[in-house]
């Protein structure tokens, strides 16, 4: 279903998939998936290009019935805050701006889009057909950055999280709940977001005693979500208490 959620003049577009063979007398898990930068917009369709086919697969829907939420971030916002610092570098005899450093400030309030998403998730988790103890969140690239931010803001909401080829501020780990399990994914040869950033999260979370696992794909670049959605145990791991 194509839907929208609004607060005042702010609107969040999203797609919402009901469980296979939906029964209004039952409660179901909720899966949220956050897209990356290239799928931003307001058409309420592009965000399905990564992960959409996976969650629509009949075998997955039959074996793991759940609601699936695909929100769409507008082009002028982010799932989390980014502080991009530039420097001038010479290119063909000209000085041009180049990214020097990216920081991930964790502000008290979320971005506008994530604020809307959190309000939407909260309304869903309190609805009669969603099992609030079985809410899962994943995302790819900028969406994975959003996963780290959101799980830190609402640590008691999520039973599992699966960030794919992301980056972020590892200081937010201190806000995570030990009740949330994590599976981190990255391509070893990612030339957009180097795998070292996922490794940093993994190593730090291991040291602090979190329930975390890490999969790195040799020879794979930034599109490691393709490998992630071939993992035969992903949904089983997610739904397993």
Task: Answer whether residue 199 shows pLDDT above 90.
Answer: yes
The C-alpha torsion from 90 through 96 and 102 to 105, rounded to 10°, is: 140
Determine the pLDDT at residue 43.
96
Structural domain spans, the chain? 2-76+107-239
What are the residues facing 163 on neighbouring strands? 139
Task: Answer whether residue 219 shows pLDDT above 90.
Answer: yes
% of the chain exceeding 90 in pLDDT: 87
The predicted-structure confidence for 89-146, as pLDDT tens digits, reads as follows: 887 788 777 777 889 999 999 999 999 999 999 999 999 999 999 999 999 999 999 9
Determine the pLDDT at residue 206.
98
CA atoms of 35 and 94, how far apart (whole Å): 35
The predicted-structure confidence for 18-71, as pLDDT tens digits, reads as follows: 999 999 999 999 999 999 999 999 999 999 999 999 999 999 999 999 999 999
Determine the pLDDT at residue 119.
96
What are the residues facing 15 on neighbouring strands? 2, 70
Assign 229 to helix, strand or coil. Answer: coil
CATH 3.40.50.300 fits 2-76+107-239, yes or no: no
Half-sphere exposure at residue 212, Cβ-oriented, CA atoms within 13 angstroms: 21
Token pair, residue 120, equals 């939407």
pLDDT, average across residues 154-164:
98
pLDDT, average across residues 218-223:
97
Pick the range with the lowest mean pLDDT from 49-63, 78-92, 189-203, 222-236: 78-92
Determine the pLDDT at residue 90.
80
The answer to whether residues 214 and 198 touch, using CB atoms and an 8 Å cutoff, is: yes
The answer to whether residues 40 and 73 touch, using CB atoms and an 8 Å cutoff, is: yes
Report helix, strand and coil shares of the chain as percent, to nearest 5: 30, 30, 40
118: CB partners within 8 A, 6+ apart: 110, 150, 153, 154
Give the Cα-Cα-Cα angle 164, 167, 171 (nearest 5 degrees).
Answer: 120
Beta strands in 43-159 (DSSP E): 67-72, 83-91, 94-103, 130-140
Determine the pLDDT at residue 130.
97
């Amino acid at each position: 279903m194509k839907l929208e959620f609004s607060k005042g003049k702010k609107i969040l577009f999203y797609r919402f998939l009901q469980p296979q063979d939906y029964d209004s007398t039952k409660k179901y898990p909720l899966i949220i998936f956050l897209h990356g930068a290239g799928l931003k917009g307001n058409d309420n369709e592009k965000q399905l290009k990564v992960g959409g086919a996976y969650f629509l697969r009949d075998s997955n829907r039959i074996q793991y019935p759940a609601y699936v939420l695909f929100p769409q971030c507008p082009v002028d916002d982010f799932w989390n805050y980014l502080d991009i610092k530039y420097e001038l570098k010479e290119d063909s005899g000209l000085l041009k701006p180049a990214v020097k450093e990216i920081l991930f400030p964790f502000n008290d309030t979320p971005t506008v889009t994530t604020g809307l998403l959190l309000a939407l998730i909260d309304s869903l988790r309190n609805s009669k057909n969603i099992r609030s103890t079985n809410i899962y969140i994943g995302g790819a690239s900028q969406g994975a950055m959003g996963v780290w931010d959101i799980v830190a803001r609402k640590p008691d909401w999520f039973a599992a999280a699966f960030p794919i080829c992301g980056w972020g501020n590892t200081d937010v780990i201190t806000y995570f709940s030990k009740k949330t399990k994590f599976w981190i994914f990255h391509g070893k040869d990612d030339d957009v977001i180097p795998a070292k950033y996922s490794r940093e999260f993994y190593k730090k979370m291991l040291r602090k005693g979190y329930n975390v696992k890490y999969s790195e794909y040799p020879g794979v670049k930034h599109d490691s979500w393709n490998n992630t959605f071939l993992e035969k145990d992903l949904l089983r791991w997610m739904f397993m208490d």
